[in-house]
Amino acid sequence: MADIKAMNAAAAYGNAANITDPGASFSATPAAQNIGPDFSEFLGKSLNDVMGNLQQAETHTVSSLTGKATLDDVALSLTNAELSVKTLLGIRDRVINAYQDIIKMPM
């Protein structure tokens, strides 16, 4: 994580040194653009994983009523579903906090 921040800081410094027009905008270097998956892809995959865990927990719960699943299976699937929902809520909270911090920045 520190390497990524250092890379971005170095790219920003390099861009700032090359700008001669005060109205010009900064651009990310190609290395900085290919750091990881797109946030929207990550968010979509996370939502699909959460829905899958919730559906699996529901399936195990219904199966336990008919005797096809054990209580251990139900407890494990419910715990996985709860953990995935809490993780998704944590990501949501951090995104909201980041957005609020960006809005508070002076222009």
pLDDT of residue 26: 47
Extract the tokens encoding 9.
């800081």
pLDDT tens track, the chain, 107 positions = 444 444 455 555 555 545 444 455 545 555 555 677 788 888 888 899 999 999 999 999 999 999 999 999 999 999 999 999 999 999 899 999 999 999 999 88
Cβ-count burial 8-47 (b if 16+ within 10 Å, e if not): eeebeeeeeeeeeeeeeeeeeeeeeeeeeeeeeeeeeeee
pLDDT of residue 55: 95
Token pair 């390497």: residue: 3
